[in-house]
Amino acid sequence: MQAFLQRLINGGGRINREYALGRKRTDLFIEWPVDEAIGFNGEVQRVVIEIKIMTEKKSLDTLISDGIVQTKAYAQQMGTAEAYLVIFDRRANLGWDEKIWQKEIDALPVWGC
C-alpha cells in the first residue's frame, strides 16, 4: 500500500509509516501541501490510513468495529477529518468478488481488498 501511494505522492507530499500516536500507531499518515508553490509553509492536507489484516482469527464485523474506533481516534488526535480504514483479507476460502468492497460506516470510508 505504501509503495503504491508513494508513486502518487512522490515529489509533493510525505508518507509517514507507523506514525506513533501515544501508545498506539497508525499505519500511514500522509501530508500533502494544498498549494504546491508554497509547499509545507502553507496549508497541508493530512490523511490517516489505518490498515488491518483479516484472518480466520477474528470476525470481519469485529475487525471493522475495532478498526473504526482506532482510525477515528487517530484522526481526532492528528486534527484531520480525512481518514480511511483498509482491510486486506487473507482468507483463502474467499474469492475476489467477496474480498473487494467499499462502504462508509459512521462517516468513515472502509475498503476491503
pLDDT in tens, 13-44: 888 776 555 555 558 888 989 998 898 899 99
Could you say which architecture CATH assigns to the domain 2-112?
A: 3-Layer(aba) Sandwich (3.40)
Cell of 28: 500511514
What pLDDT is attached to residue 84?
97
| CA gap 40, 64 in Å, rounded | 33
Tens digits of residue pLDDT in 40-77: 899 999 999 999 999 888 899 999 999 999 999 989 98
What pLDDT is attached to residue 106?
93
| CA gap 87, 18 in Å, rounded | 16
| CA gap 88, 54 in Å, rounded | 6
Cell of 54: 483479516
User: For the whole prediction, is pTM greater than 0.85?
Assistant: no
